Every structure is written in structure tokens, then in C-alpha cells.
Structure 1
Amino acid sequence: MSTHPLDIAETLLLQGGSKRGQPISHILSESGKVAPSEMVKALGESHRLAQPIENVLTAEAILSREEVLDAQAQHYGALALRRSVNPPVAKLANSLPASFCLEKGVYPWMRIGETLVLATSRPDRFADLLKELPPGLGPVMMAVTLEGDIHAEIALRQGDSLVRHAESWVPAQASCRDLSESTKSARNLSIAAALLCLTLLYLSPTIFFSLALALALGSLIMAQGLKVAAFLALPKQPPAGVPKLPPNPPSVSILVPLYKEQEIAQTLVARLSRLTYPKTLLDVVLVLEAEDTTTLATLARTTLPPWIRTIRVPTGEVTTKPRALNYAFGFTRGDIVGIYDAEDAPAPDQIDKVVDHFASAPPDVGCLQGILDFYNPRANWLSRCFSVEYASWFRILLPGLARMRFAVPLGGTTVFFRRSVLEHVCGWDAHNVTEDADLGIRLARHGYRTELIQTVTREEANNRFWPWVRQRSRWLKGYGITWWVHSRKPIQLWRDLGPKKFFGVQLLFLTTLIQFTFAPILWSFWLLLLGLPHPLSGIIEGPLARSLTAVFLSAEAITVFIGFAALSRSPHRSLIPWVPTLFAYFPLATVAAYKAVWETLTKPFYWDKTEHGHSRPDSPDADLSHN
């Protein structure tokens, strides 16, 4: 096909013949490409979902996007442009902002004389789009093209600027990206604090350890008190019900970041294919790093359904999940945006529940967090304890915090947002290695609430010792960084959150960090229980020793109780005998805490990736999620 503008114009006239204005369904039926029975079903689905017939036909794999494009061109009397045949004119790339082109599904393709040929993947909305075009473009003519071609051209021409925006979308004052650029006063304060501790340790180790013990015990009491309060705030019975599809149901985009995945791609497609939400309204985006040849090769061997596509993120300053999410977000179109991890197996009706909940929730509910669980809890002792810990977190603590109207640190997956809310809070902090927890706090600071919903995603429990430590160290490093970011201006945090949520943030983050860091001091009470002398035996004796030991044992009892309660709300009641062994499990997190402290000082933005695919489900149907 010729690329000369006049030849293209002639082709346009030829294409706009007698079929112009005819329904696309009629054009496709007449061509013999769709059986009448299939078209009738597709038209019914189009009416039910209030979606164009072409969206239904492509999502259900009845026709290819190429075939539908030709029918659209005939219906609108417009030119069908394909990037492989007629590539856009490069010098027109900046005629419209990339963000505008992504949002509206258009691209300035070429000029025919003074007329700008504006290609669109949403021709049904083109008339409304004309009202939003900036002045100075001159006459505009519509052409139709594939959304993938628009995205590919934008990524080629403006990908570098988009990735820089992804890295700095969150304003500097709300980001941790200046963590490695400490001020002179901050460095002096840190040095002074370190010298004070060392001096006290040298001159009076007894006082030093007494103060450390007081801090550890105080944080222990507050942490366990928060767990009890969360438990008491829960309803006796979790709400249940069959989700209903609202009128004009929203489109849902799911971002799935992948990095160095060798085995998970086919399994991921199979698990996502179980979702019962209409595929016409589902937009699953696999987010890849440009240099990740491993995952690219894996996907090259995998057949993706038409409602799953890929986005490649250009290289940049950092390589993190939140940076990739920010970049890919601009290429999505869903009214609701969710996150899954590579190894996730969501409940089939999960998106239906999310849509139903958002439809009835007040506008200040900006985020929904689902329950995370494991499909390999019985792989070994570590996976059993991990499952108990997750059950306590997602079935007791987080729902309790949400019920008490506290700020909720999000999980990294099975979390869903109203699109407008994500745009308002500027997405994820590209430099924070626990971007989920950070985003949960930023949502609260902007006045939004997070609610927990009764839907489960199963994933792979990280059940190898050193990979577990690496994963936990990243979480703890991110928790410390998140606390620092939001607490460095405490007065502003107080104003944003109010007293209750402010203290909730301090309780949750500080007690978590202190507990794991100072845990060895608390372990010293096992010496008293074993009849051995305590390092502070000159101070801790008699009634005081008995009282402090009672506090320590009570805290252990609360941990066991919460574990029992959490498992009773899960399908893993058979793990109840393993709950008392948690006393040997949590010391692993102390190893991770010291690793996290070192990494915070040396490489705060390093993303210690968790590898997937090393542990199979306990049974063939273990990844089928149930509450």
C-alpha cells in the first residue's frame, strides 16, 4: 500500500462506499465471518454490558481485532491505518500530549494537506473527543486503528519521558526518593544518637540494656493490645452474599507485574481465565521490564487470550514494581484498577465482588483489599507458620484496623482502586520497596478509606529459609522507610490523619520494627523460665521478674490466641496444632530485620525479588480459592 498522502486519501474514498453507516454487526454477518447464532449471542452481551459489539466480538475471540478494524472502517467511512503498513509520521508525535492520547485512545498519524489524520481505537467516542482537542491543530479527519498500534507508537516516541514521569509521579515531599540524600543536620543527628548509645553501652551497660528492655516491653504491650482491639472490632460472622452486576458495569484493568519469571506464565493465564467477570470488560496487562529477556521468552511460548496484553517498561533510574505499575497505569483504561502477582490464583468471582462492593460503597472508599492465602501451606514447617501469620494479618488485624477506621497498610496484591482515586494520590512511590503499605497511608492522608472484602487469592508461600529472609527484609526495610517518609513532618501527618489514625500509624509501624529489632532482649525471659540467671539479674528479681515474665508470656498467649482465631476463619483449621511453634518462627524475622537495617543504610531502593514457582500446590485443586 502506498504511503503518499494523496494515495491514502483516494483509498479512503474507495473504502467509504455503500457500507458507510451500516451496523458493524450487519457488515460482519454479511461478510460471512460470524455465524448468525454467534452474532445474536454477541449482540445480547453487547446490550447487557452496554458495550460496542466489536468489543464483545474481540474479547470473546470470535473475531480478531484486525477483522473488526476493517468493519469499523467501512461503518465509519474512515481509513483503517496499521502501523506495520503505514507508520505514523514521527514529527507529529508531539502534536498531542502522550497522556491525552493514552486517555482518549487517539494518535496524530499524518497530515493530508492541511488536514490532520487523527487515528482512534475508539471511533464511537470520536465526536465527543473533537470538543477536547487543543486549538491550532487545523482541520481534523478521523481514521481507525488498533489500540496496540497507538500504544506501541507512544512507547517508541515518548516512552522515556513517560518512565521518568513514572519515577517521579508521587511529589517529592511524599516520596522516599531523597532518602539517600540526607541533609547535614540529619547526618549529625544520626551520628550523635549513635555516639550516645555507644557511650552509654560502654559506661553503663546495665542502664543501656534496661532502657532497651523497657522499649521492647512497651512496644510489645502496645502491639499485642492492637491485635486484641482489632479482634474485638471484627463482626462475629463475615458478611456473605452473591455479587450482582450493576447496570452499565465498569471496565476493570488488572496489572500483573512480571520479572524474571520462567515457569509461571501458562499457569497464570489458566488461573486468570477462571475469572467470571465478563471478559469484554476485563483488561489484564502483564507488565514487563524491557531488559527482562527471561520473561519475554517465556511469554513468547504462551498463547494469550485477547483480553490479556503486555506492556514493556523502558529502563530507567530504578527497577522496582511500583515504577512499573506507574508506567503501565497510563496504558490502562479500566474504571477500576487492580493488582495481582505472578503466582496469584484469585477466586473466580473476585472481580464480581469488587465491582459489586464499589457500586454500593460511599465515594470515600477508594480501595478494596482482598484476603491473601496460600495454596501450599503444608509444604513444610515454614509454609505452615507463614500461613498462620497471613491468616492473622488478613483475617484479623487488617479487617479490624479497617473497622476501627485506622489507616490500612495494603498488601501488594488483590488490591483494587477507583481509577480517579489512584490519579488523585499520584499512584505508587517508585522508590519505595513496600509501595503497597506506603500507598495505604497516602490514601488515608487524602481522606480515603480502605475496606477489606471477603474474597480470597491464593499464592505460593515462600517456604525456603534464605528466600524467606530476603523477602521479609524487603518488607521490613520498606516499613521503616514508609514510617520515616510519613513521620518526618509529624505535625502535618497529625493534621492529615487526625489523632486516632496518627497514633494508629505510629503503633503499627513502630511496634513492628521495634519488636523484630529488639526481640533478642525479650528472648532473655526464656532464661528465667528455664531457671537460668538473667543478664539483668541485679535489677530484675523477685516480684519484678515474675511480673515481667508474666507480661512476656501473656504476649505469647495473645499471639497463639490470634493464630487460633484466624485459622478458625480460614480453611486451614488443620494447622491449629502448629500455632504454638510460632515462637520458633518469628526469630527468622529478626535476622531479616538486621539485614533490612543494613540495606537501608547501603542500598535503600534495592528490590530483593521473591522467586516463584519453587513449591507446587498441596493438591491439584489447592489453588481454587475459597473463603
Structure 2
Amino acid sequence: MLCPKLRDRVRGMAVRHLIRIGGAEEAGGTSVPGDPFALSLLRGGLVRPEQPYLRGLPASSAPQTRAFHPHGTLNEAELLDAAARHFDAPRIDPCQPLPEAGPIDRLGLALCQRHGILPWRQAGAATVVVTSRPEAFARLRPMIEARLGPAIMALAPAARITEALHAARGAQIAQAAETRVSEEESCRNWAGPAVIPAVLALLSAFLAVLINAPVATGLVLVGLSLAAMICSTALKITAAVTALRHPCPDPADLSPGPLPRVSVLVALYRESDIAPRLVRRLSRLDYPRDLLEVVLAVEAADRLTRETLEASDLPPWMRIVVVPPGRVKTKPRALNVALEHCHGEIIGVYDAEDAPEPDQIRRVIERFRRSDSGLACLQGVLDFYNPATNWIARMFTVEYAAWFRLILPGVARLGLMVPLGGTTLFFRRKVLEELGAWDSHNVTEDADLGIRLARHGYRTELMQTVTREEANCRPWAWVRQRSRWIKGHMMTWVVHMRAPRLLWRQVGARRFIGFQVMFLGAAVQTLLAPVLWSFWLILPGLPHPLVQAMPGPMFAALLLAFGLSAVVDFTLGILALRAAGHRISKLWVFTLHPYQMLATFAGYKALWEMIARPFYWDKTSHGIFEPGKTGDGAKQPPGK
């Protein structure tokens, strides 16, 4: 804080500066347009002259009313009281009574959400329009009055405006969020239960063939499994070698220049345990607060999480958006609702348990600055802060390290389509909206969006910036989470293979083949894994019915594929652990195969749900394992 004498001097300088830019210039007698609201706040002693806004920094597009919050002493209620006096505008509660639907529809629901305005009620020939940003109302007035006629500005807190808007038009908001993606690229028309008769018919036919020709059927299944394993192993080798030869560049320091506004979206559902830690972790992000907003999307029925967040003393640049009930309850639907309420040019996505590196957003902005407009998405590296909790946590850590530090960077470097991870994602907003944002019905909306980006000519790149999260390491919880991922990947493959010729033309042969290996090949390998497991009977000398019938070259190829796949998995795991800096014993890597068997159980659960409950989001619980209690010596996230 400034000493009183220096503070008075700075206050005087700030007042003179604001008079020059906002009021009448006494010496010259000329009037220059400027910032009379800021001047009134300063003269009234309601804000400090040392605030960034009053030093002239927000030549940014940050709303003036937000610019006073992060570093000043005003809360929203005090600021609205001051604005009501300055603009001679009434303060109202837009929920008492609720707004009329007609004016909202005439102005446009999306416009109301985007600008935080609410056509409330008719007052004679005029319409009362409520806002929490009076300084922006003059700019919006011509557009408002072109649709509604004369408008009277009234003031209310942003949260109450959103609450009233959702109460009046919640069903329409939910429907818009659920149908943003075009039908051709969405899975919302997938009628899972309707295919049950066809599935039963196929299953009956398969059993009939198996009974009548068991050996031939077994050989076909072995051949499919072998082909999937060989393709998957070849992709891993190629991607890893490419990543090692052409590593992702280290994030550069932020160069001087104007910064864009960034909106970070976090979807939360039944996350009351982790919510306070999330607020602390995101508060450590190093980015100007007047250019950063965090939108916490909470389901309407989840009162406990919302109350926990409200009790966490959220900073002014974080706010809650309540997601109205709809036909599905998924993370992508919540993100679509939140997107309409944010103002950033860059849109980031985190999960509830995430602990990002503090300088992450600055690194992202610099990477976007140095790239062309074809770069639409940046994916950060995901890692775990509890890798030594138990065996599953160690294996999950090995798997994530290999995927995010070797395979996925190599896939991006090879120019293949990148199936995104669900968090530490940053998008150019313009591109995100062009594609319809997220498919609300796809339970792996991240992977689907990565494919759609590639189909529309955009690219994704990996960044060497790390976000740590909680490893899901209880057996049944792990199977449930993995089954959701497998189900979503299978649905993504079905959606994008509706028109295979079109997909081929859009992405080319190389990326088309890569898509088949990553999605179809992975599903085949997971579901047919028991066929290959059966060959372990040979080790103790037990007979196998297919060995005698199998051609010699096929059996040799099977043994070679088994051995090569194991060597590749072990090697990638060791290299990735070293790159991640984890001190987990490398010997744990050699227990990967029992861990991978869990995925097959998840795969059959996913296959059943794809038919019976295609849009069901099997929720993963967070906040169970504390960071810092991992015991592996790796760097831990702040904000325990």
C-alpha cells in the first residue's frame, strides 16, 4: 500500500488525468470524450487511483465494471449502487417477478446470454432492459431498440440476471445447448435401444457360425485381433519415434503487446468435495484478472456443489452459471451453456480436479500468437498428482505419460487427427463456434471435437505445459470411467463413418487410416483381447484348439506380435516416466498387461451401454486422494 502522502499525490495525478480524458479540459475549454463513470468513482473515493484500470491499462475489451473488482475494494453491490446513482438507473430484482418471455424472444436468447442483458417487462411503450454492465449499454442500445423499441436501462447483479433468464427460458437454453452441432456430425440421433433386435440377430448368427465352424471362426477372430495389434503397435512406434526426434518446443515467454481476453470453462457435477481446492488452484493462474474469467458450470439440481462454491468466496473474475435441466446431463452440454455466458477470444477447458501450472495461459497465448489461424486448438500435457496411491494409480500414470508425452505429440507431428483429452484445452473461440462447439450427446466430446477440427481443415498441437489431476484408482471406478471413454470413442467412430467417402475426401488417406487404427483398431483390440489371452494356456503346456489348425506363418506372426507389442509398451512406459520426472520404480512398467486386462471388462460394459444407455455419463468422483501424499517425489501442484 502507498503511504498517505504519496497516495494523495497519486490520487491528484489520477484525477487530473481523468479530467483530461473524461471531463471538460479547463485550460483549453474543450470537451474530450472519456470515462466520466470512472471519474465519479474516483472522486467519490470508491476506488483506488493505483488500480490498473485507473492507470489506463484496460485499453482492453474488459468490461469496466469488472475492471474495478479484482484489485479494488468495491464489491458488485457497491458498484451497482454507484452506477445507479451515476446513470440515474433503478436497481431491480429481475426474479421478482420473473421476466416476460416475449421481449426475450424478440431480442434473441443468444444475444441476451452473450451480453448479460435481460428484456424484463414492458413499461408502457418502452421495455425495461436489465444489465449488470451499464457502461456497455449505450453501445448496445441501438441494437436493442431496433428490436424492442424504446428501452429503459435497469441494473441488477449478473447472477440474478442469469437466474431470471434461465427461469424464463431454461428449456430453450437447454435445447440450444443440446443441438449446437449439426445432425450429420452429432450422435444425438443414435437410437441405441432400437438396434437391439439387429444386435440379437447378429449375435444369433455368430453363435450359429461358431457352433458349426468353431475352428474357422476362431482363426478369423485371431486374425482380426492380430491385425489390430500390429496396426496399433506400428502407430505407437511411429508416433513415439517422431515425438522423440521432433519434440514439442518449450513454451516461450510472453512477448510484449496487447493480450486477448481468456475464458476458462469448468463443468462441475457433484463436486462439492473438490470445489474449494479448484478455486484455490485456479486463483494461482498468472494472467491479468481484468482479461480472465472463469465460468463454473453447475447443474441446476446440484445445489450442494453450488452452495459450496458460493461459500468459497469466489473472486470477482470467477462466477457460477447454472445449467438448466435438459434431456441429457453431460459435461459437453454444460460447456455449451457456459460458452454463451463468456466473453473471451480464447476458450480454455479444465476439469474439477485440475491443478494447472500458473503460467499456463500466458504460454498458450504466446503459442497462438506465433502460429497461423489454422491452429485452432492447443492441448496441454496431463499428469497425476497421486501416482503412488496404489498399483492402479501407478499403471494409470505410466499410461498417461506414454500417451501425452510420446504418442499424442507424435500423432500431431505426423499430421494425423488428434483425439483431444478432456482438459487443458484451449481453442480459438471463432473456430469453436463455427463447428458448433461440443456434441452434448457424446460422452467423449473431446475426442469427437478433435476429429471435427481436422475434418474442417484445422489442426491441433501439443504444448509442453502440464496440468496435474487425480488418478482414478479404485478398480470399479476405473472400469466405469474407462467404459465411458470406450463407449464415446466407439460412438465417435460410428458418427464420422456415416459417410466414409466424405471423410476420406475431407482428411485424406493418411489421416483416414490413422483414424481407423486409433478408434476401430482400439475397439477391436479391447473387445477381442480374450481370444489372444487364451494362448497363455500354451505356457503351462495345456492344449489350445487353434494351434494345430493355425498356419505356421500365422502362429509365428502371433508370437512376434505378442513379443513386439510387449517390448514397445514397456519401452514407451519407461521413457515416458523418465520424461515426466516421476520416481516410480521402472519395474512397475512390467505389470502393464494385467492392468490392460481391466480395459476389456470396461469395453464390454461400454458395448452394452452403447445399445442400452448411449448418452449416459458414468460420473467419476473426485477429491478422494489428496495431492502431496503420493510419495513418488514428482513436483506436486499448489493449492492442496
Give the structure-1-normalised TM-score: 0.89
Deviates more, 1:227-236 or 1:386-395: 227-236
Contact kept? 1:70, 1:80, Cα under 8 Å: no
- What is the deviation of 1:379? 0.7
Which residue of structure 1 aligns with residue 616 of structure 2? 606
Which residue of structure 2 aligns with residue 368 of structure 1? 378
Contact kept? 1:111, 1:117, Cα under 8 Å: yes
Q: 1: distance between equivalents of 2:186 and 2:118?
A: 32
2:606 maps to amino acid: A
Which residue of structure 2 aligns with residue 212 of structure 1? 221
Deviates more, 1:130-139 or 1:315-324: 130-139
Contact kept? 1:527, 1:534, Cα under 8 Å: yes
Call closer, same or farther: CA 1:141–1:246 in 2, change over 3 Å.
Answer: farther
- What is the deviation of 1:159? 1.5
- What is the deviation of 1:271? 0.7
Query: Is structure 2 residue 47 aligned with structure 1 residue 34?
Result: yes
Deviates more, 1:165-174 or 1:233-242: 233-242
**1:552 maps to which of 552, 559, 562:** 562
Q: 1: distance between equivalents of 2:188 and 2:96?
A: 42
- What is the deviation of 1:93? 3.4
SS in 2 for 1:107: strand
Call closer, same or farther: CA 1:613–1:89 in 2, change over 3 Å.
Answer: closer
- What is the deviation of 1:48? 6.9
Q: 1: distance between equivalents of 2:542 and 2:409?
A: 41
- What is the deviation of 1:580? 1.2
Which residue of structure 2 aligns with residue 538 of structure 1? 548
- Note the alpha carbon deviations across 1:234-288, whole angstroms, 9 max, x for none: 2454412443165331111111111112311111111111101112111111111
Which residue of structure 2 aligns with residue 479 of structure 1? 489
Contact kept? 1:95, 1:108, Cα under 8 Å: no
Which residue of structure 2 aligns with residue 94 of structure 1? 105
Question: Where do 5+ consecutive residues of structure 2 fail to align?
Answer: 1-22, 25-32
Contact kept? 1:106, 1:118, Cα under 8 Å: yes
1:169 maps to amino acid: R
Call closer, same or farther: CA 1:557–1:610 in 2, change over 3 Å.
Answer: same
- Note the alpha carbon deviations across 1:360-400, whole angstroms, 9 max, x for none: 22112111111110000011111000000001111111111
Q: How many residues align?
A: 603
Question: Where do 5+ consecutive residues of structure 1 fail to align?
Answer: 1-16
SS in 2 for 1:450: strand
SS in 2 for 1:586: helix
Query: Is structure 2 residue 151 aligned with structure 1 residue 177?
Result: no
Which residue of structure 2 aligns with residue 616 of structure 1? 626
- Note the alpha carbon deviations across 1:572-594, whole angstroms, 9 max, x for none: 15342211110111001111111
Deviates more, 1:377-386 or 1:536-545: 536-545
Call closer, same or farther: CA 1:84–1:50 in 2, change over 3 Å.
Answer: closer
SS in 2 for 1:177: coil
Which residue of structure 2 aligns with residue 114 of structure 1? 125
Which residue of structure 2 aligns with residue 230 of structure 1? 239
1:31 maps to amino acid: G
- What is the deviation of 1:136? 5.2
1:43 maps to amino acid: L
- What is the deviation of 1:487? 0.8
Q: 1: distance between equivalents of 2:226 and 2:71?
A: 59
Q: 2: distance between equivalents of 1:197 and 1:114?
A: 72
Query: Is structure 2 residue 335 aligned with structure 1 residue 335?
Result: no
Query: Is structure 2 residue 311 aligned with structure 1 residue 301?
Result: yes
Q: 1: distance between equivalents of 2:281 and 2:581?
A: 20
Alignment of 1:46-445 (within 5 A): 46-47=57-58, 49=60, 51=62, 54-75=65-86, 77-83=87-93, 90=100, 92-133=103-144, 135=146, 137-180=148-191, 190=199, 193-234=202-243, 235-244=245-254, 247-445=257-455
SS in 1 for 2:549: coil
Deviates more, 1:168-177 or 1:345-354: 168-177
SS in 2 for 1:317: coil
Q: 2: distance between equivalents of 1:241 and 1:603?
A: 42
Q: 1: distance between equivalents of 2:347 and 2:34?
A: 35
Deviates more, 1:59-68 or 1:363-372: 59-68
- Note the alpha carbon deviations across 1:194-245, whole angstroms, 9 max, x for none: 3432222001111111000000000000001011111122245441244316
- What is the deviation of 1:51? 4.2
Contact kept? 1:258, 1:287, Cα under 8 Å: yes
Contact kept? 2:94, 2:164, Cα under 8 Å: no
2:140 maps to amino acid: L
Deviates more, 1:354-363 or 1:518-527: 518-527
SS in 1 for 2:381: strand
Call closer, same or farther: CA 1:241–1:316 in 2, change over 3 Å.
Answer: closer
Contact kept? 1:366, 1:417, Cα under 8 Å: yes
Which residue of structure 2 aligns with residue 6 of structure 1? none
- What is the deviation of 1:191? 5.1
Call closer, same or farther: CA 1:248–1:151 in 2, change over 3 Å.
Answer: farther
